[in-house]
Amino acid sequence: MEGTSLLWISLLSLMSCTTNQVKLNLTPNRSQFFEGDSVSLSCEDEDISAEWTLRRNTTRRTRTQCDDWGTGSGSSCIISFALAWDSGVYWCESIQAAASQSIHLTVSGGSVILQSPVLPVMEGDPLTLSCQSNQDSPLPAAFYKDGSLIRTEPGGHMTILHVSRSDEGLYRCNISSHGESPSSWISVTGKLLTSAPPPFSAPPSSLTPPTPSAPPPVSSSLQLVFRLLCHLVVFCPYFISTVLMVSLYRHRATVSRTTAPLLHAEQGLADDFRAIEHHF
Question: Looking at domain 1-109, which CATH architecture does it have?
Answer: Sandwich (2.60)
Per-residue pLDDT, 74: 82
Share of the chain above pLDDT 70, in %: 60
Domain segments of the chain: what residues? 1-109, 111-191
| pLDDT tens profile 13-47 | 443 444 456 889 999 999 999 999 999 999 988 76
| pLDDT (average), residues 66-84 | 94
| pLDDT tens profile 120-147 | 999 999 999 999 998 877 899 999 999 9
Contact 148, 124 (CB under 8 A): no
| pLDDT (average), residues 171-183 | 96
Helix and strand tally (H, E) in the chain?
2, 19
* pTM beyond 0.85: no
Mean pLDDT of the chain: 76
Question: Distance between CA 62 and CA 81 in Å, rounded?
Answer: 20
Q: What count of Cα atoms within 13 Å lies in the side-chain half-sphere of residue 126?
A: 6
- Domain 111-191, CATH class in plain words: mainly beta
Whether 1-109 shares its CATH topology with 111-191 is answered yes
> In terms of DSSP bridges, do strands 188-189 and 184-186 run parallel, antiparallel, or are they unpaired?
unpaired
Q: Which of 102-106, 224-228, 261-265, 266-270 is predicted most confidently?
A: 102-106
Contact 167, 187 (CB under 8 A): no
Least confident of 38-47, 60-69, 93-102: 93-102
Cis peptide upstream of residue 28 (ω within 30 degrees of 0): yes
| pLDDT tens profile 262-272 | 555 556 555 65
